[in-house]
């Protein structure tokens, strides 16, 4: 009996000390910022374990729809947030467009490629190889890129030269390795790399606003730790400083 009581006490203590897990599904472009924010939050809340899952917003939304355990979804566009709202996995009233980003053209540092964001500029002849960006039908960065290329009347002249990647960080890696002469990524991705340079910025009126909405999933709404972490990401001065450090703008 005595041994049984000791076992019950030890089991209870283990439960008390076990960290609560918060799973955050976040766009690949948020990798550095969310990772830094998670470290700070875990230091302040040692009983909470933040587990980020990074990837293309499209792929993450599909995983969540398929039943993947998730507490928060942080998308790189409004479309994929709305997708989960329509699936009734996220409450429309709980979604907040938290961040803004910019769309830029990059190249390896050793190349000198001209760029003018004007329809009369012959973009296709300004570089020799391929252009990398996210898959244009699903990955947010690729969708924004397609909008800009259409607006500038450049898309048709690039037929057969566009490489669509699984997420925006993959597009960045292709350019870093020199496998693509140019890439269309977010400003925040370009800033973290020492191997690429920004050639130019696409006009804001050439694509939809690059908004990053954040929301709790239905599962996350039941997780007290997830609710607290979401508040920290949305409103803490520490999180704001980190987002701005990586080049994001705060959506007022």
Q: Give, in words, the CATH class of 2-100+211-250.
A: alpha beta
Instruction: Report pLDDT for 149.
Output: 98
- CA–CA separation, 180 and 81 (whole Å): 30
On whether 141 is known to bind a ligand per the annotation, the reply is yes
pLDDT of 216-238, one tens digit each? 999 999 999 999 999 999 999 99
On whether 186 is known to bind a ligand per the annotation, the reply is yes
Q: Residue 9 above 90 pLDDT?
A: no
- The mean per-residue pLDDT over the stretch 184-206 comes to 97
Give, rounded to a whole angstrom, the gap between the first and last alpha carbons of the chain. Answer: 62
Residue extent(s) of CATH 3.40.190.10 domains in the chain:
2-100+211-250, 103-206
Helix (H, G, I), strand (E, B) or coil at 45: coil
Q: Residue 115 above 70 pLDDT?
A: yes
> Which pLDDT band holds residue 252 (cuts at 50, 70, 90)?
confident
Instruction: Report pLDDT for 19.
Output: 72
Instruction: Report pLDDT for 18.
Output: 62
Q: Residue 22 above 60 pLDDT?
A: yes
The 10 Å Cβ neighbour count of residue 165 is: 23
pLDDT of 71-110, one tens digit each? 999 999 999 999 999 999 999 999 999 999 999 999 999 9
Instruction: Report pLDDT for 16.
Output: 45
Instruction: Report pLDDT for 14.
Output: 43
On whether 168 is known to bind a ligand per the annotation, the reply is yes
Share of the chain above pLDDT 90, in %: 92
Q: Do 165 and 147 contact (CB within 8 A), yes or no?
A: no
On whether 236 is known to bind a ligand per the annotation, the reply is no
CATH numeric code, 103-206:
3.40.190.10
Quickly tell me which residue has 């993450």 as its tokens. 60
User: For residue 187, what is the enclosing H or E element?
Assistant: helix 187-192
Q: Residue 39 above 70 pLDDT?
A: yes
pLDDT of 116-172, one tens digit each? 999 999 999 999 999 999 999 999 999 999 999 999 999 999 999 999 999 999 999
Q: Name the residue among 35, 19, 33 with its Cα closest to residue 225.
A: 19
pLDDT of 51-69, one tens digit each? 999 999 999 999 999 999 9
């Amino acid at each position: 009996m005595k041994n049984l009581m000791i076992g019950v006490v030890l089991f209870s203590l283990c439960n008390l000390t076990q960290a609560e897990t918060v799973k955050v599904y976040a766009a690949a472009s948020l990798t550095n910022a969310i990772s830094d924010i998670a470290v700070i939050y875990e230091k302040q809340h040692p009983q909470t374990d933040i587990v980020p899952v990074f990837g293309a917003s499209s792929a993450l939304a599909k995983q969540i729809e398929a039943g993947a355990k998730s507490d928060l979804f942080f998308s790189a566009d409004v479309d994929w947030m709305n997708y989960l709202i329509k699936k009734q996995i996220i409450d429309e009233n709980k979604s907040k467009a938290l961040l803004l980003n910019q769309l830029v053209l990059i190249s390896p540092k050793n190349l000198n490629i001209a760029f003018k964001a004007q329809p009369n500029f012959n973009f296709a002849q300004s570089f020799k190889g391929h252009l990398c960006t996210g898959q244009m039908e699903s990955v947010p960065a690729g969708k924004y890129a397609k909008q800009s290329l259409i607006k500038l009347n450049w898309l048709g002249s690039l037929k057969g030269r566009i490489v669509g990647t699984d997420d925006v960080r993959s597009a960045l890696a292709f350019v870093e390795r020199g496998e693509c002469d140019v890439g269309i990524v977010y400003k925040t991705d370009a800033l973290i790399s020492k191997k690429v340079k920004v050639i130019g910025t696409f006009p804001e009126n050439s694509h939809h606003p690059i908004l990053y909405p954040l929301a709790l999933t239905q599962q996350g709404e039941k997780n007290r730790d997830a609710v607290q972490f979401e508040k920290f990401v949305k409103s803490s001065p520490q999180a704001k400083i980190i987002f701005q450090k990586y080049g994001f703008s705060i959506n007022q």
